[in-house]
Each structure stands twice: as C-alpha cells, then as structure tokens.
C-alpha cells in the first residue's frame, strides 16, 4: 500500500512539473516581439540618431591635445629595433560633457556612419605646443583624419619680440602644411591669449612670424581670444586687424 501511494505521488509530481514547464515553453503560435537592430533602420534614420546622440547644448566641443611626459627610456616595438611607439598624448574636452563615443566601437559600419556626426562640431587644438597636433594623426585612423572639420591654432610662441628659434618656426611651417592637407578641413580658429597680443607689432611682424603660412589653408579663418573684456567696437577693431594680418578680404568672424 505504501509503495502504491509513493508511485501515485511521483506521477502527480511529474504531471505538475510538465504543466509548469509548459507555461514557460514557447509554442509556435505564441507571439514574440522582435525589436529591430540599429542597422535594420534606413540610413536616413540612423543619421538622425547619430546627430541626436552627439548633440550638445554648446556650439562646439574643444578637444585639446598635449604630449604626455616622456618616459625615462623609450619603448620600442617588438617588430623592429628602429620602430618606436607613437607619442603618448593627453586629451582635455571643453566643456567636459559626457559623449557616448563608445558607440563608434559597436562595429565598423556604425564607426564609418557615426564618426562624421561626432566630428562635425569638434575643434582640435593644442595646449602647450601646437606641434602636438602633428602627433595626433598617428593616433587616428585615415578615415578619422579625413573627417576633421575644425582646428584651432595658437601662435603665441611666435609672437615674442625677441628672436625665435629656427626649430619653432620650422615646426609651425610643417604644422600648417599638414593641416592644409586635411581633405575635410572647413575652418581654422586662430587663438590669442588676449587682444594685446594681436594689436602689438606691425602687420609685417605678424605676417613674417606666422600668418603667411596660414595662407596654405584655403578655408575660413576665425579669430578667438582666451580672454576678452572689450566692447563690441573693440571686437570689430580686432577683427579688422586680424583680416589685415591674414590678408583676407572675405568674411572673417571673431569670438
């Protein structure tokens, strides 16, 4: 009798377990919601999503590039004794708002589609030395370099009344030539710490030190100051002075 009760109890558990599992088992007639992936959407919709994703409340995002401190001993590639790693760089973003740049790492197609939207309002600059921008290209893919739209240059080191080192002048010349070769370049921002740096010296002085090499970049050039406390008339005067220095008869904007 006891064996019979045990058998009935076991059969009951098996039936109950079978019914319980059937509640979670998907049947052919059961509807399942399938969400489309990003790449299933039309290209025009994806472009709008990228623009919305990288949209900010500010007009531009300034990415400042600077060389990190050199290591005490150079690190060599294992491929060959003469190949060195690219210089380590530090990046500062102003304003320091979060950007979902990880989206670019999803896959190659999204990288090629989304990166132009990210770079559309990004200005690349250098803090201590403008030559840092030359090292930036070693850290970017060819596609990324070709999509750089805006660059900010600061010729402060060339504005000293004393003699400048030939190496600094050569570096500035090479830098201007490198930037002029960017196929996607649309605007160059020329930055001065304060208006006095622009007003001091003759036009010929500014032309001879740095401005004539700006002619290599056939794009719009915009005047910008780190600090400006003047009036609207002062700003217009600086803009006129800047136009004379770069010998631009077109529309020159200034911040």
For 126-160, how does the pLDDT look when each residue is reduced to its tens digit (9 = 90+)?
A: 866 777 788 888 889 999 999 999 999 999 888 87
Alpha-carbon torsion, ordered 24, 26, 27, 28, to 10 deg: 170
The model's pLDDT over 181-195, given as tens digits with 9 standing for 90+, comes to: 999 999 999 999 999
Smallest Cα–Cα separation from 222: which of 59, 58, 55? 59
Q: Are 198 and 241 in contact (CB under 8 A)?
A: yes
pLDDT band at 78 (very low <50, low <70, confident <90, very high): very low
Contacts of 124 (CB under 8 A, 6+ apart): 63, 65, 133, 136, 148, 150, 151, 152
φ/ψ (deg, to 5) at 2: -65, -40
pLDDT at 233 over 60: yes
Tokens coding 227: 């600090």
> What is the tens place of the pLDDT at every residue in 39-61?
888 999 999 999 999 988 888 89
Nearest CA among 71, 80, 74, 171 for reference residue 130: 171
Residue-wise burial string across 60-77, b where 16 or more C-beta atoms lie within 10 A, e elsewhere = bbbbbbebeeeeeeeeee
pLDDT at residue 20, as a whole number:
44
Q: 254 near 233, Cβ under 8 Å? A: no
Structure tokens at 135: 């090292």
Bond into 95 cis (ω within 30)? yes
Structure letter (DSSP) for residue 7:
H
Q: 243 CB contacts (<8 Å, ≥6 apart)?
A: 249, 252
**What would the mean pLDDT of 71-95 be, rounded to a whole number?**
58
How far is the C-alpha of 235 from the C-alpha of 228, rounded, in Å? 9
* pLDDT given at position 32: 62
| Residue whose C-alpha is closest to residue 224's, from 239, 203, 240 | 239
**pLDDT given for residue 5 in this prediction:** 43
């Amino acid at each position: 009798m006891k064996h019979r009760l045990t058998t009935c109890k076991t059969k009951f558990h098996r039936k109950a377990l079978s019914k319980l599992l059937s509640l979670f088992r998907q049947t052919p007639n059961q509807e399942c919601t399938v969400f489309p992936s990003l790449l299933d959407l039309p290209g025009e919709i994806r472009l709008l999503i990228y623009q919305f994703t990288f949209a900010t409340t500010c007009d531009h995002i300034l990415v400042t590039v600077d060389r990190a401190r050199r290591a005490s001993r150079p690190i060599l590639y294992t491929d060959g004794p003469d190949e060195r790693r690219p210089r380590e760089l530090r990046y500062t973003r102003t304003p320091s708002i979060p950007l979902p740049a990880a989206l670019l790492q999803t896959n190659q197609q999204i990288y090629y589609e989304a990166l132009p939207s990210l770079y559309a309002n990004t200005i690349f600059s250098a803090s201590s030395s403008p030559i840092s921008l030359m090292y930036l290209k070693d850290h970017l893919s060819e596609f990324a370099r070709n999509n750089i739209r805006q660059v900010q240059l600061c010729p402060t080191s060339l504005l000293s009344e004393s003699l400048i080192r030939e190496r600094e002048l050569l570096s500035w010349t090479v830098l201007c030539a490198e930037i002029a070769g960017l196929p996607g370049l649309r605007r160059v921002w020329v930055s001065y710490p304060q208006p006095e740096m622009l007003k001091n010296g003759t036009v010929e002085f500014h032309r001879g030190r740095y401005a004539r090499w700006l002619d290599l970049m056939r794009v719009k050039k915009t005047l910008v100051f780190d600090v400006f406390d003047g009036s609207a008339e002062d700003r217009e005067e600086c803009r006129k002075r800047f136009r004379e220095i770069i010998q631009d008869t077109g529309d020159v904007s200034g911040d």
